[in-house]
Amino acid sequence: MVDNNKQYDCIVIGGGASGMMAAGTAVKNGKSVLLLERQNRLGAKLSITGGGRCNITNAERNTHKLLSKYGSAEKFLYSPFSQFGVDDTFTFFSSRGLPLIIQEENRAFPETENADDVVEVMKEYVNNENIKVKIATKVTELITEEGEIIGVIAGQEKYFASNFIIATGSFARTESDQDSNGISFLRMLGHTVRKPSPNIVPLKVKDAWVRNLSGTSLSSMRISFFLNGERNFSKTGELLFTHFGISGPLILNSSQRVSKLLENGSVTATVDAFPHTNLGQLDDHVLKVFGENQNKQLKNVLTKIAPEGIGKALTQLLGIPKEKRVNTVTIEERKEILTLLKALPMTIEELMGFDRAVIADGGVSLNEIDTATMRSNIYKNLYLTGDILDINRPSGGYSLQLAWTTGYVAGNSIA
Ligand SMILES: Cc1cc2nc3c(=O)[nH]c(=O)nc-3n(C[C@H](O)[C@H](O)[C@H](O)COP(=O)(O)OP(=O)(O)OC[C@H]3O[C@@H](n4cnc5c(N)ncnc54)[C@H](O)[C@@H]3O)c2cc1C
């Protein structure tokens, strides 16, 4: 059945962060837009961002520093960010009643710290008489004619337009519905796609002591990763233990490097629970706690030496009988405790999958996109935005800023 509506000026596929920005911007100058979203609401992923608080952008005002976070895409992004940058994000949301606040590492959040408020602002932005929104409408095919895209198929319906914006996001946290994701459309259209893999993702760990600490979150932990036994890199930050392994900002931001290590051999890691204390100071600390608890059993004193979860880990890992009295612990045994406090060992099995990833590595090659407009160099009426692009970045608000920027630029290019 053919949609009886007039031919649209633009069809936006995907009602997420960048798709809503693109649709709302494209209706300037009276253009007509059809926004198609496969889920039964707009901005579903947006509503779970930042643990429900939505790290909406990163308030790094030095453009060079900001764009360097996007790795090899830095040069490509100068033009889009000059059209809609971090300041524009601040103005966009505050002028719509949602001021932003800046927290550690320049992470910006809505003042209300509620991601649903961000979704509401974006829904309001697409609430326009020139935008028709269709939810629960999954695009399964693009219609091409003589080398041009002329329409899309969604279920039994066909919709036609002069321009198309693909804003279908990445495989991260999708219902593994990879066939009808924009990536596969774009591959079929002849675009070069670097195979997506999970990124900003937790790590699966072999060791039972790690999984036994599930739910424990520890700040200021130093983790060092080893490839085939050789130290490769270290990072300090917040570490979260889960039922499958390790997560938290420290791990999420290490995952891309760990992924490269896993391609080259076996990867192990050690956790230093006292990264700012040297061995001598740590020994003094242990001796002091032992002195105060001389007649107690070791297992009851270990938790007083170290942060709660780590004490529990020591109980599982130490080769010493835990029932022995503290005043009978030998120097050698104390050394064993110190060694573990500075280097709790674990073996990394693999990265967790797309279902736990924040973003995906890979996507459509930037060589085939016009930097000033986000237009495809292959199809003159096709624009690409957001996560679908092959642009890597760490966590910290950089992903959503990319969505606002590219969405705005694509929408504005049509308007
Ligand atoms: C748990 C989690 C937390 C995150 N937290 C943050 C954060 O705090 N800060 C940050 O900067 N980034 C964060 N991100 C990343 C951020 O959410 C994404 O980078 C951003 O949403 C990308 O926007 P997008 O428009 O490209 O894609 P999305 O927002 O994913 O939108 C794509 C939309 O397209 C729809 N779609 C897909 N295929 C079709 C189809 N065939 N037909 C119709 N519709 C389709 C999807 O249903 C979806 O609604 C987080 C991601 C996750 C998973």
122 lines ligand 1 (CB under 6 A): no
Asked if residues 168 and 39 have their Cβ atoms less than 8 Å apart, the reply is: no
Would you state the structure tokens that stand for residue 351, as one six-digit string?
């990265």
Q: From ligand 1's centre to the CA of 52, what distance in Å?
A: 14
CA distance 375 to 381: 7
pLDDT given at position 389: 96
Ligand 1 atom with least separation from CA of 181: 38
CA distance 72 to 76: 8
54 lines ligand 1 (CB under 6 A): yes
SS3 345: strand
360 lines ligand 1 (CB under 6 A): no
Ligand 1 atom with least separation from CA of 17: 25
3-state secondary structure 332-364: HHHHHHHHHHHCEEEEEEEECCHHHCCEEEEEE
Q: Which residues pair with 205 in a beta bridge?
A: 348
Residue type, 108: A
11 lines ligand 1 (CB under 6 A): no
Q: From ligand 1's centre to the CA of 357, what distance in Å?
A: 11
Q: From ligand 1's centre to the CA of 53, what distance in Å?
A: 15
> Is 49 exposed, middle or buried, given 0-12, 13-18 or 19+ CB atoms closer than 10 A?
buried
DSSP 8-state secondary structure symbol assigned to residue 209 = H
Ligand 1 atom with least separation from CA of 14: 34
CA distance 131 to 30: 10
371 lines ligand 1 (CB under 6 A): no
Asked if residues 217 and 371 have their Cβ atoms less than 8 Å apart, the reply is: no
DSSP string, 239-267: EEE-SSEEESHHHHTTHHHHHHHHTTS-E
Ligand 1 atom with least separation from CA of 386: 26
CA distance 237 to 247: 11
Give Cβ neighbours of residue 124 (< 8 Å, ≥ 6 apart): 96
In this structure, which residue's CA is closest to atom 41 in ligand 1? 139
Ligand 1 atom with least separation from CA of 138: 42
Ligand 1 atom with least separation from CA of 50: 8
393 lines ligand 1 (CB under 6 A): no
Distances (CA, A) of 123 to 24, 28, 381, 387, 413: 9, 16, 25, 19, 21
- The helix or strand, by DSSP H or E, that contains position 82, with its residue range, turns out to be helix 74-83
Q: From ligand 1's centre to the CA of 173, what distance in Å?
A: 8
**Which of 13, 8, 126 has the alpha carbon at shortest distance from 388?**
13
If one counts every other C-beta atom within 10 angstroms of the C-beta of residue 280, the result is 9
pLDDT given at position 302: 93
* H helices present in 133-241, as ranges: 182-188, 208-212
Q: From ligand 1's centre to the CA of 392, what distance in Å?
A: 15
55 lines ligand 1 (CB under 6 A): yes
16 lines ligand 1 (CB under 6 A): yes
Would you state the structure tokens that stand for residue 402, as one six-digit string?
């990319």
Distances (CA, A) of 145 to 1, 163, 216, 280, 297: 19, 14, 56, 74, 79
CA distance 282 to 269: 21
CA distance 169 to 15: 9
> How many Cα neighbours within 13 Å face the side chain of 170?
32
pLDDT given at position 2: 45
- Digit-by-digit pLDDT tens for the chain (415 residues) are 445 556 999 999 999 999 999 999 999 888 999 999 999 999 999 999 998 999 999 999 999 999 999 999 999 999 999 999 999 999 999 999 999 999 989 999 999 999 999 999 999 999 999 999 999 999 999 999 988 999 999 989 999 999 999 999 988 877 545 566 788 889 999 999 998 889 999 999 999 999 999 999 999 999 999 999 999 999 999 999 999 999 998 999 999 999 999 999 999 999 999 999 999 999 999 999 999 999 999 999 999 999 888 998 998 999 898 899 999 999 999 999 999 999 999 999 999 999 999 888 889 999 999 999 999 999 999 999 999 999 999 989 999 999 999 999 999 999 8
396 lines ligand 1 (CB under 6 A): no
Ligand 1 atom with least separation from CA of 388: 26
Q: From ligand 1's centre to the CA of 169, what distance in Å?
A: 5
> How many Cα neighbours within 13 Å face the side chain of 17?
30
Length of the chain: 415
